């Protein structure tokens, strides 16, 4: 089984591209902290490349930015290519099946205001006889 679940912060703004056949693809890097500290007492992080396809790619590009916290579930993919100097290079990436945005709109700094919440005194009472259950 090839399944991975990650929670971390974007290290850069997502990049959106379109394939020749018109399919959207979004790429970004996610910093995921490790569960343990190093010998200096500092927690280290891994920086993982994430690939998202189609409609979810467009949503990631629209709503995520550098520093955004998100959860990613998907699979690990390794590919190789020949570099210009003739050496073979290997790339490991996470192909996301699902991306959940964990920042609220107020934390994202996008200028959107949270809807005003009503005070308890402003709430209207509900008649129990009209409830369907």
DSSP-derived 3-state class of residue 17: strand
The CATH class that applies to domain 4-112 reads mainly beta
C-alpha 6: how far from its chain's center? 9
- State yes or no: pLDDT of 40 exceeds 60: yes
Please give the Cα distance from 16 to 56 (Å, whole number): 11
Q: Is the pLDDT of residue 60 over 70?
A: yes
Mean pLDDT throughout 22-47?
94
Strand partners, 43: 37
- Helix (H) and strand (E) counts for the chain? 2, 6
Rounded average pLDDT over 92-100: 97
pLDDT confidence bin for 122, thresholds 50/70/90: low
- pTM for the structure as a whole: 0.75
pLDDT value of residue 61 = 96
Please name every residue paired with 52 in a beta bridge, in sequence order, or none if there are none: 26
Average pLDDT over residues 29-45: 93
- With a cut of 80, say whether residue 55 has pLDDT above it: yes
Distance, in Å, from the CA atom of 107 to the CA atom of 28, rounded to the nearest integer, reads: 20
DSSP string of 91-102, one letter each residue: EEEEEEEEEEE-
Residue 111, pLDDT above cutoff 50: no
52: Cα separation from own chain's centroid: 9
* Mean pLDDT of the region 41-65: 96
């Amino acid at each position: 089984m090839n399944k991975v679940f990650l929670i971390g912060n974007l290290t850069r703004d997502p990049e959106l591209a379109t394939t020749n056949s018109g399919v959207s693809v979004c790429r970004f890097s996610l910093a995921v902290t490790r569960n343990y500290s190093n010998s200096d007492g500092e927690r280290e992080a891994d920086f993982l490349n994430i690939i998202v396809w189609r409609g979810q790619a467009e949503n990631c590009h629209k709503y995520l930015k550098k520093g955004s916290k998100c959860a990613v579930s998907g699979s690990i993919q390794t590919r190789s290519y020949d570099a210009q100097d003739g050496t073979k290079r290997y790339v490991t990436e996470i192909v996301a099946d699902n991306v959940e945005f964990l920042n609220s709109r107020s934390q994202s700094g996008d200028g959107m205001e949270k809807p005003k919440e009503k005070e308890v005194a402003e709430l209207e009472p509900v008649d129990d006889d009209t409830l369907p259950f």
